[in-house]
Structure 1
Amino acid sequence: MASPLVNPSQLRPLPLPDRALARPRLLQHLQEAASRGCRLILLSAPLGYGKSTLLAQYATSLQTPWAWYRLDTADNQPLHLLLHLHAALGLPAPEHTLVPADEQRLWRTVLQCLEQQSEGFTLILDDLHLLRADRARHYIEQLLRFGPPGLLVLAASEGAPELAINHLRRDERLAIIDARELALDSEEIGQLASGRGARLDADALYQLRAGSEGWITGLLFWLTAYRELVPASPQPELVRSVTRQAYTYVSDFLAEELLARLPAELLAFLERTAVVQTFDPELAGVLSERPDAERLIHQVQRRDLFIEQRSRERVEYRYHRVLREVLYQRLQQRDPQLQQQLHQMAAAWLLEHRRYSEAIHQYGRARDFNAVLATAERHTFDLLRDGQINALVDLLSQVSGESGSDHFTLAISEASIVMVTNDIARTKACIQRLRLLQRQGVPRNPERVQQTIAYLRTLLAYLGGNLRHGLELASQALQRYPQRNSAGSVLRFIRARCLFELGQLAAARQDVEQALGEFDEFGFSGFANIPHLLLGQIELAQGDSVAAMRRFLALEHKSPATASRNFYELFHHLGLGLVFAQQNHLEQARQRLAKTETLALGFPHSAALVQVLHHKACLHDALGDQDKAQAHWDEARRMARQFRQFGVYRLAGAWRARLALRQRDQDFILHWLEEWHWCQRHYGEDLMPEEWLAYAWVQRHLGQPALAEQILGNLREQADSENNRRLQLDLWLLDATLQRDRGDQTAALACLDEALQLAASHGFGQLLHHEGRELVELFRQLLQPQVRRQAGLERPLPPREQLAALLAGLAGGEGATQAQALLEPLTRRELDVLRRMARGQSNQQLADGLFVSLSTVKTHINNLFRKLDVTDRDAALRAARELRLLD
């Protein structure tokens, strides 16, 4: 029976909601951390990220004993803490009133109980951040440092708990799951909405992801508002109405659960610094007018008040967008004049520190449009470099209709923005605006206007998929305006993109390298990430993944200090995701592409999200998850069509058609063929290699091998001339399939061998990502020495470890076990020889024991060495143990 001093509600998890979202990925993460011997697994995130629910879900899955303890401020009294630990472990309640002298007796009883848990024990501590007193913390620290071997402490905390845990980090016995991992991704948001009966289209889901940043409490309030307003709101206004209502609920929630508990000085600091999207200690000091701003920032961090730290050249901070908006509205309602002053103060500081786009954004929020136009006049192309896309788009919306909104420099600034946002409608409007100003005689530099119009028209052609027209427009403009300036560099870069999409890698490389050199010269450090991605894609296509990896890692290391350039970070994450995928490191690729999608969601969706969804679909296909691949390609095409980005629409369609062939999805194949023929009528031969390759696969499916072979020959000629090794690899797989179809197994094996050797030489890990899965049996035969000899294949196979990586997934097991499953299996006699070798028998002992000649034994041993890819007995035994060939 528990002591009357014990609060029983602290010793049980809250009941799981009936519609609690399943988090299998996170539960697996917890299980893996526990299985590798972690002593402490810490869920560290602000209020409302589902930490307690995840702990409860994990507890229900445990097969070993566990105890739950939710801490509160009273547990800073050591006796209170130990009494509850005592009760949580199911120990009998003390029979007398406790006094301080009982503290050590209770502690020893707790330790003895834990020591007796031979099968392992999980102690789950919720709200660990509330434990701050030194003496109380000391007991938890003792458990972490000296607890029994089978003890696992699983804890949830708002921010880092005030415990000594660095020794666990040193010993690799600490696992931390933070807000980024706890935040819901797009698929989980869809599941959450579906579970609550919300029928949301893809646009609404993306808006939810971007607006909430995956904060589950905000999403739950949104779904509550949705359920309340669905019957009353007209569909076109539904999302907007629900978002307004949800904001009211979230604002009240944060006021009750968070802001009301803050000291007045800290709340005032939060409100003042929320007028900017990011800040460092110096800017925070200016806005708060406090010399101790850094101390207050540390308080905000210690309380984990929805703050994110970004450490680069300058340490910067940002609040979660939901909290920032709530704080901003509070200040606006209470003191709008102060808010205007803060915007002016922020703008002046940002301008002084050469952060032009943020300064313009702050002037716009202060409605000082004269300052907006004056700053834009002086720093037009700095805006393109700076890359705070949301601020700039917001700026254009704010100045629309204001005095001076037809300003020439503002029009040039808009042209810079659309270069990044890929907004076709805005691009067309920008061209019309520039032409109108040109007719009115406003521009002082007519050549600059012509160049700007030229690169906007070229951008439209590229995005619309009219690649040859884009090439011609760019070439004409570069010839007409040969002077070196940023507009010319942009033209050259767009021409490189058109060349790349058409498979002309050498010319694309020449253009993008020249453009990059000029961007560096002009100081376009952020924007340069986009052409760096293109150059990395060329390197990957040409089989130089090492160079591409170096490129994207270098971009990551020198990522700009200001968070205003956050959009450009997307491109080095995307590049690293593509490298990992090509090298068959698919989990690392998934992590990078997840980061990329998160970044893309925070900006206009036309800017990069469509491209990211396409690459995520390719990754899901590589992982063998065809349903997710199809969903992502369908979504990429829907969104690309919405934004009229028909180039990426067609690219995603070509890959989707190849998937449809494997799925036997005849309806999509016929639909895609109609689109393909439309493109051929309009663009002739100027289609992307991916489209031609997909068309060849479709013709093979339709029983037209001659046409497929003709396309293959044309593509091979281009791939060879452009050193496009990735395309060569795809073509060898198509060739092998066509040869197999006609019954020429020798030719099919020769094609597969070319693919295998090419992949081994240039680090391609995706032999079996796509159509290669349908050639499994041929690959098995290819790796058998006798078959290779009969087919006249003289080149040696790659080493066993490389084969395991190249053909991972073709057989059961992991790593080298897969390679062994593919190679010529050991005979029964060879396995017998191997086992006797493991017992230390000499060649003569082997011959005597097997009743064979010494030369026969040597033949068996030589065969063993060849099949295991080793040169001596010790190496053979090591390989055999790795492959689990020995009992």
Structure 2
Amino acid sequence: MSQPPINPSKLRPPMPPVAAIARPALLQRLHDGAARGCLLSLLSAPLGYGKSTLLAQYAASLGSPWAWLRCDAGDNQPLRLLTHLLQALQLPIPDRKLSPADEPQLWARILADLEQHRDGLTLFLDDLHLLRARPACRYLDELLHFAPPGLHLVAAGRGLPALAFSHLRRDQRLQLLEAADLALDNAQINELAAARGLSLDSDTVYLLRAGSEGWISGVLFGLAAYAEQQPNLRAIARQASTYIADFLTEEVLRGLSPALLTFLERTSVVRSFAPELAALLGGQGETLELLRRLQRDDLFLQHSGDQRLGYRYHPALRRACYHRLRQRDPDGLLRLHRQAADWLLEQRCYSEAIYQLGRARDYNALLAAVDQHSFDLLREGRVDALVEFLGDIPGQSADHFTLAITEASTVIATNDIQSARACLLRLQRLLRQQEAPLHRPERAHQTLAFLRSRLAVLGGNLGHGIQLVGNALQRFPQRNAASAVLLFNRASCQFALGRLGEAWHDANLALGELEALNFRGYTNSVHLLLGQIELARGQAPQAAQRFLALDQALPSNAPRSFYDLYQHLGIGLALQQQNRLEQAAQRFGQAEVIALDVIHCAALPWVFHHQACLLAARDELPAARAAWDEARRLARQFQLFALYRLAGAWRARLAVREHDEDFILAWLQEWHWCRRHYGVELQPEEWLAYAWVQRHLGQHAIAARIVANLHGLADSEDNHLLQLDLHLLDATLQQDQGARDGLRDSLEQALQLAIAHGLSQLLHHEGRALHEALRQLVDPQQRRQHNLPPLPPREQLQPLLRELFGAAGEPQPLLEALTRREQDVLRRMARGQSNQQIAEGLFISLSTVKTHINNLFRKLDVSDREAALQAARALKLLD
């Protein structure tokens, strides 16, 4: 046998893309992995996630030797693999004919060279998924089991390689970066656009990210479409879909077997599916084998997070396959939709079933199903599916009363003011035409009332909203889902006005009624309101437990539905109040992803507002300013004027800190307009911001009067968060006037309040300016000098005053503590024991072990064993 020819293109990184962007966070993860002794850093993601580019950037950043090998199918012949490895390591290849008998000698030469690089060598293996044959893989398996010191393997491929690397998970020598890690966020999309000479507005960024789920190739095709179609967002989406479909056809679909391609096309008619549904649609007798092949080759098959419909395709692949099927067999496509609908109705998956009926254009069956299952639709909590199928229904169905009620229910969730007004007018017309069912007239009138009251909540006409609900409940006292929503709307108005007691009462009644009706999803928004009341009253542990209870049903790595946004916001707020700001930022980031996925929802500005509050707490003022400005822009676009005013109040406080006189002047004009229209019924945050502005303008007497008035509200409602803010403002006023005793008294009240109720916001926002005064106040000698009572131990104060004590880098406790049995399981996991070994060692069942491990994943906010052990060591939960 002659010497295999050397392909030099396999031995160098790819040329960098035009206008590529840096990925510093990912590069740092690779560097950190090498520093802590990882043998294998593996990038596992489908085509087009920038794996090779990231590897090339990492190679360029190294200051130590490295070698590169891009694998291909030919490397499944061991001799070809070894000769290319020799060439990559710049080792001589024998100048004679080679045969399989030479493989041991060549491999020994490679190992001997690797042993010489004790100071460090990085070996890059790109496209590792193409290496499948056991004779070739056994060499790399040996390297993974008996690696020389100093070697770091960095590999990339689609799916997990056909190598034996489980022991690396056990020994914490594996670092895995997957599609979610490589996906682009908003800032990176903007950076990528700027590198290509494009300037995107925020709406275009959201469109590109939502349509691609951060898939880099999808974003790039979107940018290409934007360069041609701007600023028409619909045209951009259509053109980008065409480009992506062509790309996937060329790079993925053409290489598939006819059986697998047919399976992909036929199952693309549903957004998520179970294996049984896939077998029905795909017409294949080997469905499970086809699914395994899709997972092995990482062909954009993902877990959906739905217990009944557990699989989904990446939207880009689903759209491409769906388009192919529609072009080739449009009638067959309609039949598949109807087949799917029938199966889904049998399985009681009503939202997805009705979506399929709409796609099948069987509108009579659709309207009949809505009539029969409208209550089930609402209980499922799949508002995204409801919005989707409503968009597919022809205009003449607008006269269908049950459908109008159903659409009104989606409005309550999405906060779409424009749709809410359209629903309101439609229902009023149907009532005038006596289209409403005569046996349920109260349902129509209650729906009108909760639509009108929701518009009042979102529009900021809070007193009017309370009045509307009171009138409706008096006229139509029947207890049902609509009356529960009315109570929730009134509670929302009361909470916005600072009336926590009344808000708590109504929200609890609403929650009880909705839970009795077995509603899912929508109750998360009620829980968020109740949790915010608990946080305002300094009951962070109760609020945290409330939100964690919502989080326990799904694994931590499952994609979330629309309503899960509320629990992420809630957990983020609880973490922020406990001064665990990094973890709070992660939760808010997850909420942002959900809000972007449901492009019809107006939840995004709320997420940005909470992110801005967090950024300001971290003293990242430019980022906070940008987030509040974007929240206000979107809130104005969606006509969410209550949020617009709330975010404006916080933005005005930031403007005071930054001496931004232009913004302060513009905000004052808005504030006086609201004061004229709503009288005293403004949000406490608006009054507080006005007081800070008056203090900034030198009107200390006005600011002091507002503080006194707000103290009355805060004291009567046990609103400890507001009390803390007021003490800090009063301390600042005392400091301005040089009143040291008054400054100390106000700060002492703030400190005692924070200690009593676990409030960690003392040194956030305006409190940073009081850093030195607070430092003196906690000094034991100073406290004795001024006859102040001693403070609790430093360990109790540290979470509240982390910035003061300089312990920001210390590990933070878990939001929910581990049980003793979970600690036992964690320790055995750290020893590398399997689930069966843990069960035998602890004398418990295998299913109980799995339950404990799932609880560990949830509490540590991870998705696999390796990440759990890393998190546990970072938190010092393991020796």
For 1:288, the equivalent position in structure 2 comes to 282
Tell me if 1:411 matches 2:383.
no
Distance 1:87 1:565, change over 3 A: closer
Name the counterpart of 1:852. Answer: none
Note if 1:477 corresponds to 2:472.
yes
Deviation at 1:244, TM superposition (A): 2.8
Q: Which residue of 1 aligns with 2:602?
A: 607
| Cα deviation 1:410-453 (Å, max 9, x = unaligned) | 11111111111111111111111111111111212211111110
Secondary structure in 2 matching 1:164? coil
Does 2:192 match 1:198? no
Counterpart of 2:315 (choices 317, 321, 331) is: 321
Greater Cα offset, 10-19 or 360-369: 10-19
Cα deviations by residue, 1:301-324 (Å, 9 ceiling, x for unpaired): 111111211456446111111111
1:364–1:699 distance in 2 versus 1, CA, 3 Å: same
Residue 563 of structure 1 deviates from its aligned partner by 9.2
Matched, 1:504 2:499: yes
Between stretches 744-753 and 18-27, larger displacement belongs to 744-753
2:379 equivalent to 1:372 = no
CA–CA distance in 2 between the matches of 1:319 and 1:211?
Answer: 13
Cα 1:400–1:129 change in 2 (3 A) is same
2:186 — aligned with what? 186
Counterpart in the other structure of 2:16? 16
- The residue that corresponds to 1:82 in the other structure is 82
Q: State the SS of the aligned residue for 1:806.
A: coil
SS of 2:392's partner is helix
Question: Max radius of gyration: which structure?
Answer: 1
Which range is displaced more, 608-617 or 336-345? 608-617
Corresponding residue number in structure 1 for 2:94:
94
Q: What is the aligned partner in structure 1 of residue 43 from structure 2?
A: 43
AA in 2 matched with 1:375: A
User: In 2, distance between residues paired with 1:72 and 1:651?
Assistant: 57
- CA displacement at 1:659 relative to structure 2: 1.1
Q: 1:546 to 1:34 in 2, by over 3 A?
A: farther
Structure 1: how far apart are the matches of 2:323 and 2:393? 21
Question: Comparing both chains, which one has the higher relative contact order based on Cα–Cα distances under 8 Å and sequence gaps of 6 or more?
Answer: 2
Contact map agreement 1:386 1:564 (CA 8 A) in 2:
no
> Does the 8 Å CA contact 1:225/1:245 hold for their aligned counterparts?
yes
Aligned residue among 600, 623, 631 for 1:628: 623
Any idea what the Cα deviations from partners look like across 1:211-236, whole Å, max 9, x if unmatched? 11111112212222333x2xxx6x65
In structure 2, what is the equivalent of residue 33 of structure 1? Answer: 33
Query: What is the 5 A alignment of 1:418-567?
Result: 418-444=411-437, 445-559=440-554, 566-567=561-562
Report how many aligned residue pairs link the two structures. 809
- Per-residue CA distance 1:613-663 (angstroms, 9 max, x = gap): 111111222222211111111111011101101011111111111111111
Where do residues 605-754 of structure 1 align in structure 2 (5 Å cutoff)? 605-754=600-749
What is the SS of the residue equivalent to 1:125?
A: strand
- CA-CA distance at 1:561 after TM superposition: 13
> C-alpha distance in 2, partners of 1:437/1:574?
37
Q: Which amino acid aligns with 1:405?
A: A
The answer to whether the 8 Å contact 2:128/2:157 transfers is yes
Q: CA deviation at 1:571?
A: 1.6
Q: Secondary structure at 2:399's aligned position in 1?
A: coil
Q: Distance in 1 between matches of 2:526 and 2:665?
A: 36
Name the residue aligned to 1:391. 385
CA contact (8 A) 1:655 1:690 kept: yes
Quote the offset at 1:812 in angstroms: 5.9
Distance apart, 1:275 and its partner CA: 0.5
User: Counterparts of 1:722 and 1:453 in 2: how far apart (Å)?
Assistant: 31
| Gaps in structure 1 of 5+ consecutive residues | 819-887
Q: Equivalents in 2 of 1:501, 1:131: separation in Å?
A: 60
Q: Percent identity?
A: 57
Q: Deviations over 1:275-331 (max 9, x none)?
A: 111111111112112342222111111111112114564461111111111111100
Structure-1 separation of matches of 2:555 and 2:17:
43
1:592 aligns with 2:587: yes
1:219 is matched with which residue?
Answer: 219
Post-superposition Cα deviations, 1:773-823, rounded to whole Å, max 9, x if no partner, equal 222221222232232223332232x433444433334576744799xxxxx
CA deviation digits over 1:754-775, x for unaligned, max 9?
Answer: 3333333433333322112222
Which letter maps to 2:435?
V
The CA distance in 1 between the partners of 2:724 and 2:119, in whole Å, is 52
**Is this contact kept in 2: 1:313–1:561, CA < 8 A?**
no
Superposed displacement of residue 608, structure 1: 1.1
The AA in structure 1 aligned to 2:430 is: L
Q: Cα gap change, 1:564/1:776 in structure 2, threshold over 3 Å: closer, same or farther?
A: closer
CA distance 1:563–1:793, change in 2 (3 Å): closer
Q: Which residue of 2 aligns with 1:63?
A: 63
Stretches of 4+ aligned residues off by more than 6 angstroms: 560-565
1:314 and 1:510 mapped to 2: Cα distance?
A: 36
CA 1:696–1:433 in structure 2 vs 1: closer, same or farther (change >3 Å)? same
- Taking a change above 3 Å as real, the CA distance of residues 562 and 89 of structure 1, as seen in their structure-2 partners, is closer
Distance 1:5 1:149, change over 3 A: same
Q: Measure the CA separation in 2 of the matches of 1:724 and 1:30.
A: 46
What is the CA–CA distance in structure 1 between the aligned matches of 2:559 and 2:186, rounded to whole Å?
24
Instruction: Indicate the RMSD between aligned Cα atoms, in angstroms.
Output: 2.3
Are the aligned partners of 1:21 and 1:192 in contact in 2 as well (CA < 8 Å)? yes
Distance 1:625 1:605, change over 3 A: farther
Unaligned runs of 5+ in 2: 813-879
2:754 matches 1:780: no
- 1:258 — aligned with what? 252
Equivalents in 2 of 1:788, 1:182: separation in Å?
52
Cα–Cα, structure 1 residues 5 and 236, in superposed 2: closer, same or farther, change >3 Å?
closer
Post-superposition CA distance 1:818-854 (Å, at most 9, x none): 9xxxxxxxxxxxxxxxxxxxxxxxxxxxxxxxxxxxx
Secondary structure, aligned partner of 1:22: coil
- Secondary structure of 2:125's match? strand
Q: Could you tell me which residue of structure 1 aligns to residue 146 of structure 2?
A: 146
Tell me if 1:269 matches 2:258.
no
Q: Which amino acid aligns with 1:795?
A: P
Contact map agreement 2:305 2:560 (CA 8 A) in 1: no
> Any conservation in 1 of the 2:4–2:79 contact (CA below 8 Å)?
no
Distance in 1, Cα, partners of 2:809 & 2:574: 20
What secondary structure is seen at the aligned counterpart in 2 of 1:123? strand
TM-fit CA distance, 1:562? 15
CA contact (8 A) 2:129 2:161 kept: yes
- Give per-residue Cα distances to partners, 1:78-133, cap 9 Å, x unaligned: 22222222222222223333222222222222222222222222222111111111
What TM-score do the two structures reach when normalised by structure 1? 0.88
| Deviation of 1:702 (Å) | 0.8
What residue is the counterpart of 2:854 in the other structure?
A: none
Moved more, 617-626 or 488-497: 617-626
> SS state of the match for residue 731, structure 2?
helix
* Corresponding residue number in structure 1 for 2:134: 134
Structure 1 residues 36, 542: CA separation in 2 closer, same or farther (over 3 Å shift)?
Answer: farther
Asked whether 1:795 is paired with 2:790, we answer yes
SS at match of 1:176: strand
TM-superposition CA deviations, 1:23-54 (whole Å, max 9, x none) = 12222222222222222221111100111111
CA distance in 1, matches of 2:392, 2:163: 48
TM-score normalised per structure 2 = 0.89
Distance in structure 2 (CA, Å) of the matches to 1:765 and 1:79: 63
Question: SS of the counterpart of 2:312?
Answer: strand
Task: Please give the secondary structure, in 1, of the residue aligned with 2:562.
Answer: helix
Separation (CA, whole Å) in 1 of partners of 2:756 and 2:90: 62
